[in-house]
């Protein structure tokens, strides 16, 4: 039988069309199945009822309040054991972190203002105790109240000032005693020392200004900007030569003179 190319091409084209149609149907079924799965998943994830939402919100509130209570109780326990006269820095830091959970600042930062009234009831005076813990941490870090006040950029007086003078919460006696000690030492020790140093500085500056021209004339060929007799007599070096700069300069000049230098004269 003779083959007819035209007929073979028609049969091939028909078979190809049937296969293409079947492939399209399969692809459409896959897409349909995937679409149904997507609808089912979307429905199951979005079917939370109002009661479920309220229950979840209540659980979150309970968890937040419970954590605040646990931290508050932990801080109270630390304070009961701590010697406020010789505080431990690490323990004071732990207490500060524990009390912070019951402060209004923490409630605002956590966006849980709906729990504010409850937190205030179950964690009374948490804010004042938080400031007390910060004071103890600074005192422990610097080894005493006086040093804690005078150190640069200290926050000790600031935190002590935030503790209410009429505080009547837990550990009242220890808290108010610490507050009183901080302000007493500042008034009776720190301020008098600072005032005495300022007076001494003014006296030295006045004496230096008064005798400057006399010393310049007397020193002749010596350096007019340094007078060993004056500074030694006035204890100026002891007060203002902490880095040893003047001592080093004096030794350098002496070495220069002994080695044959220092013959130049001021004219």
What is the arithmetic mean of pLDDT over 23-40? 68
Per-residue pLDDT, 235: 47
Give the separation between CA 59 and CA 67, rounded to whole angstroms: 12
The mean pLDDT of 32-38, rounded to a whole number, is: 69
- Is pLDDT at 194 greater than 60 in this prediction? yes
Q: Residue 42: in which H helix or E strand, if any?
A: helix 5-45
Prediction pTM value: 0.62
Number of other CB atoms surrounding residue 64 within 10 Å: 19
For 87-120, write each residue's pLDDT tens digit.
Answer: 999 999 999 999 998 898 888 888 888 888 888 8
- Residue pair 92/76 in contact by the 8 Å Cβ criterion: no
- Count Cβ atoms within 10 A of the Cβ of residue 175 and give its class: 0-12 exposed, 13-18 middle, 19 or more buried: buried
Q: Which of 94, 93, 98, 109 is nearest to 72 (CA)?
A: 98
How far apart CA 41 and CA 48 sit, in angstroms, is 13
* Predicted local distance difference test score (pLDDT) of residue 17: 65
Q: How far apart are CA 122 and CA 69, in angstroms?
A: 7
């Amino acid at each position: 039988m003779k083959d007819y190319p035209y007929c073979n091409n028609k049969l091939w084209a028909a078979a190809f069309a049937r296969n293409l149609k079947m492939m399209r149907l399969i692809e459409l079924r896959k897409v349909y199945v995937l679409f149904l799965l997507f609808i089912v998943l979307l429905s199951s994830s979005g079917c939370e009822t109002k009661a479920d939402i309220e229950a979840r919100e209540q659980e979150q509130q309970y968890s937040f309040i419970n954590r605040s209570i646990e931290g508050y109780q932990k801080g109270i326990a630390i304070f009961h054991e701590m010697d406020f006269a010789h505080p431990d820095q690490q323990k004071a830091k732990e207490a500060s972190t524990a009390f912070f959970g019951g402060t209004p600042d923490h409630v605002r930062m956590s966006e849980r203002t709906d729990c504010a009234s409850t937190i205030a009831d179950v964690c009374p005076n948490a804010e004042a105790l938080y400031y007390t813990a910060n004071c103890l941490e600074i005192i422990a870090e610097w080894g005493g109240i006086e040093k804690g006040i005078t150190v640069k950029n200290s926050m000790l007086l600031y935190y002590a000032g935030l503790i209410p003078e009429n505080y009547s919460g837990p550990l009242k006696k220890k808290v108010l005693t610490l507050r009183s000690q901080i302000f007493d030492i500042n008034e009776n020790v720190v301020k008098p020392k600072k005032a005495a140093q300022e007076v001494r500085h003014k006296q030295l500056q006045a004496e230096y200004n008064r005798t400057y021209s006399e010393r310049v004339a007397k020193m002749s060929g010596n350096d007019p900007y340094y007078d060993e007799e004056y500074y030694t007599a006035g204890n100026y070096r002891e007060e203002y030569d902490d880095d040893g700069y003047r001592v080093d300069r004096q030794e350098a000049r002496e070495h220069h003179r002994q080695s044959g230098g220092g013959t130049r004269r001021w004219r």
